């Protein structure tokens, strides 16, 4: 059952909500459930299994692609109030790729079933406008990934990633593995380890068993 | 002035054409011009300068991004009957990146002015459906580029590119420079030259001043 806070979240984060009539609202509410995934749980992994539109209430999702050999690259992350459209890519014609979604923290989300969204979208163009704008946003996110991968040197990309994770965690101490950084950046763990050691030699980070501490924020920022 | 063949092209390649009323059709026709760019001409380069929706009548366009330092990577190519939506990205909310477009052959295209498309799109949802589906298609194209860049080895990418250019030109003799291949693949010319020399040593291609000849199609295909 949805509670008042779920209803508020939908009101606040679905810009089309006020344009729905009473019937459309109740169709969507009936097709929506709230659920929680533990840290590390796979939320979505197959295009053919259309998970539905996901709204993050609390927690954090990582959206990534994965190769046949298990190599990964992170496309973007979603946080509180963000809505994931690619988990409902079956809604969208011409999306031919598949993304995977993992909960990076314990994450509570609302899921609007795909067919409900389709039904309301077919009569209310504001609903379609919303999904189309989301698609364009994610397209822009992915273009940013292309620019980073193709145009930027790896030291710069790693520095940017450490600063981003530090901003997300609001801490200079990151409990992130070299493996996880490699998955974010689409490279091999050894490449991350080598560059982190260089950063450590330069006095920018301190490496420990538990993770990475940024010891010179300014120097790291200079690299970006 | 538009001629009958232009009108046919619009009828055939705009799937919304039959859903337009007479007035909407004439609004679009009045906002459409035909023009031709010579091989090598820049067709579009600045997001703020919204070129409009482009439909290729004859010829070939290359859509790419470029870094501050002039490095490029090709996102996709458009051929006869294809429609370019990113040249009208000002139409689309949340597209925050910029693409460049060059005519790779002498190219004749129709351009529908952005404001005309906006006007008709605001009253006819089929027009918006069309642009949204185009955005999703190009998003899928770009995801394919990400997969290639991040997941595939360079020999494989170069082999795929040579086979693709050979299919486009319907010839095993390609008048393409190492520089142009580097721009397609988002790498440095030296990297292309080194790999082509390896291909030549392996008897797969023959390099000459004028270009590249694929001498062993099967072996090239085996690499992909």
**Widest Cα–Cα separation across chain B:** 63
Cβ distance of A140 and B93 shorter than 8 Å: no
Cβ distance of B73 and A137 shorter than 8 Å: no
Beta-carbon count within 10 A of A153 CB: 10
Q: How far apart are CA A178 and CA A200, in angstroms?
A: 14
Residue A35: which pLDDT band, with cuts at 50, 70 and 90? very high
- Chain A interface test: which of B66, B85, B135, B143 (most A C-beta within 10 Å): B143
**CA nearest B79: which of B145, B182, B170?**
B170
Give B83's strand partners: B55
Q: Are A57 and A84 in contact (CB under 8 A)?
A: no
**3-class DSSP state for residue A58?**
strand
Identify the closest residue of chain B to A99 by CA–CA distance: B143
Type and span of the H or E element at B223: none
* Least confident window among A1-5, A34-38, B73-77: A1-5
* CA-based radius of gyration for chain B: 19
Sole residue written with tokens 């993992």: A102
Q: Are B33 and B114 in contact (CB under 8 A)?
A: no
Q: Which residues of chain B form CATH 1.10.10.10?
A: 152-222
Q: Are A172 and A220 in contact (CB under 8 A)?
A: no
Name the pTM for this structure. 0.93
Q: How far apart are CA A217 and CA B57, in angstroms?
A: 54
Q: Are B35 and B108 in contact (CB under 8 A)?
A: yes
Q: Does residue B149 have a pLDDT over 70?
A: yes
Give Cα separations from B214 to B165, B172, B175, B187, B197 (angstroms). Answer: 11, 5, 11, 21, 13
**Torsion sign across C-alpha atoms A148, A149, A150, A154:** positive
Count of helix runs (H) and strand runs (E) in chain A: 8, 11
Over residues B105-131, the pLDDT tens digits come to 999 999 999 899 889 988 888 888 898
Q: Which residues of chain A form CATH 1.10.10.10?
A: 152-223
Q: Please report the pLDDT score of residue A47 as a whole number.
A: 65
Over residues A169-222, the pLDDT tens digits come to 999 999 999 999 999 999 999 999 999 999 999 999 999 987 999 999 999 999
Q: If phi over 0 gives left and psi between -120 and 50 gives alpha, with beta otherwise, what is residue A189?
A: alpha
* Tokens read off for B65: 């991004």
Mean pLDDT of chain B: 93
Q: Are A187 and A74 in contact (CB under 8 A)?
A: no
Q: Are B192 and B176 in contact (CB under 8 A)?
A: no
Q: Are A160 and A166 in contact (CB under 8 A)?
A: no
Q: How far apart are CA A36 and CA B21, in angstroms?
A: 49
- Chain B interface test: which of A136, A186, A191 (most B C-beta within 10 Å): A136
Residue B51: which pLDDT band, with cuts at 50, 70 and 90? confident
Q: Which residues contact B171 (CB under 8 A, 6 or more apart)?
A: none
Q: Please report the pLDDT score of residue A202 as a whole number.
A: 95
The C-alpha of B63 sits at a distance from chain A's nearest C-alpha, in angstroms, of 13
Type and span of the H or E element at A19: none
Q: How far apart are CA B220 and CA B212, in angstroms?
A: 13
CB pairs under 8 A between A and B: 99
**3-class DSSP state for residue A27?**
helix
B147 close to A (CB below 8 A): yes
- Could you please state the CATH topology (level 3) that the domain comprising A152-223 is classified under: Arc Repressor Mutant, subunit A (1.10.10)
Q: How far apart are CA A128 and CA A117, in angstroms?
A: 9
Give Cα separations from A101 to A48, A87, A130, A198, B132 (angstroms). Answer: 14, 8, 21, 32, 24
- A93 or B47, which is more confident: A93
Q: Please report the pLDDT score of residue A97 as a whole number.
A: 87
Q: Please report the pLDDT score of residue B14 as a whole number.
A: 94
Q: Please report the pLDDT score of residue B179 as a whole number.
A: 95
Q: Please report the pLDDT score of residue A48 as a whole number.
A: 67
Q: Does residue A64 have a pLDDT over 90?
A: yes
Mean pLDDT of chain A: 93
Identify the closest residue of chain B to A130 by CA–CA distance: B93
Q: Please report the pLDDT score of residue A215 as a whole number.
A: 96
* CATH code of the region A4-150: 2.60.120.10
Q: Which residues of chain B form CATH 2.60.120.10?
A: 4-150
Q: How far apart are CA B107 and CA B93, in angstroms?
A: 28
Identify the closest residue of chain B to A144 by CA–CA distance: B97
**CA nearest A212: which of A167, A181, A168, A183?**
A181
Over residues A117-174, the pLDDT tens digits come to 889 988 888 898 898 899 999 999 999 999 999 999 999 999 999 999 999 999 999 9
Identify the closest residue of chain A to B150 by CA–CA distance: A186
* CATH code of the region B152-222: 1.10.10.10
């Amino acid at each position: 059952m949805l509670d008042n806070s779920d209803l508020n979240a939908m009101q606040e984060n679905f810009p089309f909500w006020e344009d729905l009539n009473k019937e459309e609202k109740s169709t969507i509410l009936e097709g929506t459930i709230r659920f929680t995934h533990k840290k590390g749980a796979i939320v979505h992994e197959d295009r053919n299994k259309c998970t539905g539109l996901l709204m993050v209430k609390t927690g954090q999702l990582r959206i990534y692609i994965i190769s046949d050999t298990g190599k990964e690259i992170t496309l973007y992350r979603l946080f509180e109030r963000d809505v994931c459209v690619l988990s409902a890519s079956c809604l969208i014609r011409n999306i031919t790729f598949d993304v995977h979604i993992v909960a990076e923290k314990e994450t509570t989300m609302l899921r609007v079933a795909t067919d409900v969204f389709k039904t309301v979208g077919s009569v209310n163009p504001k609903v379609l406008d919303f999904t189309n704008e989301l698609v364009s946003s994610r397209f822009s996110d992915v273009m940013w990934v292309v620019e980073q991968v193709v145009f930027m040197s790896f030291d710069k990309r790693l520095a940017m990633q450490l600063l981003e994770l530090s901003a997300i965690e609001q801490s200079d101490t990151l409990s992130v593995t070299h493996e996880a950084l490699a998955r974010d950046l689409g490279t091999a763990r050894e490449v991350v380890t080598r560059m982190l050691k260089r950063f450590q030699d330069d006095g920018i980070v301190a490496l420990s068993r538990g993770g990475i501490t940024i010891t010179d924020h300014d120097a790291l920022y200079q690299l970006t």
